[in-house]
Amino acid sequence: MPTVKMKNKKSPVKREQAPTDSTNPTGATDIGSMEKIRDILFGQQIRESEKRFAKIEERLVFETSELRDELKKRFDSLEQYVKNEIKSIMDRNTADSEHRSDNERQLKENIRKVSSDLDHKLKLVDNRLEKNSKDLRDQILEQSKSLLDNLQKYHEQSSQMLTQTAQELRDNKVDRSDLSDWFSELSLRLSGDRTLKSIIDSQA
């Protein structure tokens, strides 16, 4: 597992201060390395989670931008359509003065119809934009909650095991070879059949 340096953050689980034991000079060093081990176990997963969040946010911005561009194109097309319709009706109205009154009524009716159609299409586009934005926000919230829950679970498990090991170091004065074996076992336990990386990938 690659080593990732992270800024120190306050852990939600309070660790007991290991008492100074002058008869065991290596105890303080071993216990002091617990925080580095915690970073090794969880640093990479946290970085990957942040990348996933950034990717989802980027997709939200991109799709929103696409919808805005599509809306603008439709507005331009509808505007041109209205202008052409009005011009066509006005041309016909000018060419045929005998039916001026009828043409004027037809013009008003066409304008009313075009305006109504335009309003309807604008509402459809607005509803679609709002729905897509809401769906993406809900998806980000759900994935963020799931990832944070998994990180919290793994963090609590490691904190309990590290606390237990620190106690064993104080009580049993475990030698370095036993400590190395225990850390290997801890890594295997936290990996399990489904690592945190696979959980993150499945949420993307």
Q: What is the dihedral of CA 108, 109, 112, 115, to 10 degrees?
A: -100
E strands in the chain: none
Q: Is residue 31 part of a domain?
A: no
Q: How far apart are CA 100 and CA 127, in angstroms?
A: 40
Those residues with Cβ within 8 angstroms of residue 71's Cβ, 6 or more apart along the chain or in another chain: 125, 129
pLDDT at 69: 85
Encoding tokens for residue 114?
């075009």
pLDDT at 113: 86
* Direct distance between the N- and C-terminal alpha carbons of the chain, in angstroms, rounded to an integer: 22
Residues of the chain scoring pLDDT < 70: 1-32, 35, 38-39, 43, 93-100, 169-183, 185-204
Q: Is residue 26 part of a domain?
A: no
Whole-prediction pTM value? 0.32
Structural domain count, the chain: 1
Q: Is residue 25 part of a domain?
A: no
pLDDT at 14: 41
Q: What is the dihedral of CA 164, 155, 176, 168, to 10 degrees?
A: 0
Backbone angles phi, psi at 2, to 5 degrees: -70, 150
Q: Is residue 65 part of a domain?
A: yes
pLDDT at 95: 66
pLDDT at 172: 64
Domain around 41: 36-203
Q: Is residue 12 part of a domain?
A: no
Q: What is the DSSP string of 158-189?
A: HHHHHHHHHHHHHHH---HHHHHHHHHHHHHH
